[in-house]
């Protein structure tokens, strides 16, 4: 017969299975065998415990799936060979973790959308399969969200770490990214969107905690965007809701020094894709921005007070005309925008109120597409080869110096070295006297 305490534990487990968790943590995994165990450990170690973790492995080619299984199988399966970079073996099966394996590789965006469909929590938290959370992250964020019902998403600052888990700021290593980019102050919706227009996204994706009701309203990630899917998503959120950033680093964001195959690697193909994606995002952002947020965001660029729909179209067109990307004033989004909204009322407004004629518009169409100086990539590749050769030579010199130091230390411990010490002292004094 089962003891009363055992029955109590079984009932508690059944209740917890039926009850939806407060937070659904979603984790897409691909070829991160070395890091995913650390990521899962940082989730399990959260001081806030009412969560579920949903993991999809997108057909990893390494042992990522095997690492994840260590957290969903019984104790007998939790052995972890030393030196593999795998996770600390769990003491017991954690029923809060659900693991799925894709039948074929579908990419990050589709995997994220599948994860969102499986989420049952009141909130959804994103994390990358090589990133690490501080233990109090979820607790601090949910406390803020509960006190500020108007906020759709809560982010935090983040620190950059390398493949060895060391902070770039501590090692003073060179990072191909601005390590302060996530350390941003809080701003209004309009101010954030203006910053997006002028520069770039500064939200750390694996720091985000978003309300599930917001996801149900605005939908999942847009499949058109391979590199900037998170940027486009935050633009959609900000068109409707305010967001908040906790002003301290609650995430360690991993930036590998050898990301030649990743979407964030610097190469010509990724840069062209980036520019095509950001043009579409900026165009859509301005197009769908309501009058109040638009006026707040671009108050310093407005030519006139916006009192009619025709003026709103005109002002949005002029704002897009002033958009720069990579130092080039690219007018293509502006031409596309006016081409969509140009009618008799807009033509009349432009001509009579802004002294901007159709001939001016036609001239803009002739200059709408500016070619970017992609030739610099050839020079970049040459410089990168030289840089790698210098790094290799430097490492070789470091090894040679270390070897000489070991030899010197070995010599200093020999009997002959100790016996001849007085002679070396006399010689040193003689040199000084001669000077």
pLDDT in tens, 142-155: 999 999 999 999 99
Q: How many CA atoms are closer than 13 Å to the CA of 147, on its beta-carbon side?
A: 7
Would you give the distance in Å from CA 353 to the centre of its chain? 44
Mean pLDDT of the chain: 83
- CA distances to 65, 248, 324, 361 from 365, in Å: 52, 46, 16, 6
Instruction: Give residues with Cβ within 8 angstroms of 402, minimum separation 6.
Output: none
> Residue 272: enclosing H or E segment and its boundaries?
helix 268-288
CATH class of 15-265: alpha beta
Structural domain spans, the chain: 15-265, 270-366, 377-413
pLDDT in tens, 350-367: 999 999 999 999 988 887
| H helical segments located in 167-267 | 168-171, 189-198, 212-218, 229-238
pLDDT in tens, 316-350: 999 999 998 766 777 889 999 999 999 999 999 99
pLDDT in tens, 256-277: 765 544 555 566 777 788 888 9
> Which of 74-78, 115-119, 306-310, 414-418 has the weakest average pLDDT?
74-78
User: Is the pLDDT higher at 178 or at 57?
Assistant: 57
**167, two tokens:** 């902070």
230 vs 236: CA distance, rounded Å: 10
**324, two tokens:** 């720069």
């Amino acid at each position: 017969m089962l003891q009363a305490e055992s029955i109590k534990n079984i009932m508690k487990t059944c209740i917890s299975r039926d009850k939806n968790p407060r937070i659904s943590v979603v984790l897409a995994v691909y070829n991160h065998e070395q890091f995913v165990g650390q990521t899962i450990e940082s989730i399990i170690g959260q001081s806030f415990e009412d969560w579920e973790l949903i993991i999809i492995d997108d057909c990893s080619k390494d042992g990522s799936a095997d690492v994840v299984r260590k957290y969903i199988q019984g104790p007998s399966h939790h052995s972890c060979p030393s030196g593999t970079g795998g996770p600390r073996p769990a003491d017991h099966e954690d029923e809060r973790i659900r693991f799925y394996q894709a039948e074929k590789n579908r990419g990050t965006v589709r995997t994220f959308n599948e994860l969102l469909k499986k989420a049952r929590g009141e909130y959804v938290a994103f994390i990358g399969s090589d990133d690490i959370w501080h233990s109090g992250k979820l607790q601090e964020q949910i406390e803020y969200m509960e006190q500020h019902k108007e906020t759709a998403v809560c982010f935090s600052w983040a620190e950059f770490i390398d493949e060895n888990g060391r902070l770039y700021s501590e090692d003073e290593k060179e990072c191909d990214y601005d390590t302060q980019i996530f350390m941003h102050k809080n701003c209004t919706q309009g101010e954030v969107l203006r910053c997006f227009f002028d520069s770039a996204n500064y939200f750390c994706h694996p720091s985000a905690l978003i309300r599930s009701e917001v996801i149900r309203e605005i939908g999942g990630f847009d499949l058109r965007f391979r590199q900037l899917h998170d940027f486009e998503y935050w633009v959609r959120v900000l068109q409707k809701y305010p967001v908040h950033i906790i002003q301290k680093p609650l995430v360690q964001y991993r930036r590998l020094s050898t990301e030649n195959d990743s979407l964030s690697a610097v190469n010509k193909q990724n840069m062209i894709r980036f520019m095509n994606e950001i043009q579409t995002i900026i165009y859509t952002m301005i197009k769908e921005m309501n009058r109040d947020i638009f006026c707040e965001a671009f108050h310093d660029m407005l030519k006139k007070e916006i009192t009619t729909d025709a003026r709103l179209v005109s002002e949005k067109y002029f704002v897009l005309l002033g958009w720069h990307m990579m130092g080039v004033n690219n007018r293509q989004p502006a031409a596309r925008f006016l081409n969509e909204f140009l009618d008799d009322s807009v033509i009349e407004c432009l001509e009579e109120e802004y002294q901007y004629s159709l001939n001016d518009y036609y001239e803009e169409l002739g200059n709408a597409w500016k070619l970017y100086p992609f030739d610099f990539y050839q020079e970049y590749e040459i410089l990168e080869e030289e840089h790698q050769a210098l790094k290799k030579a430097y490492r070789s010199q470091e090894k040679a110096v270390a070897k000489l130091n070991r030899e010197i230390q070995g010599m200093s411990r020999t009997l002959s070295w100790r016996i001849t010490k007085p002679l070396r002292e006399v010689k040193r004094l003689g040199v000084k006297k001669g000077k």
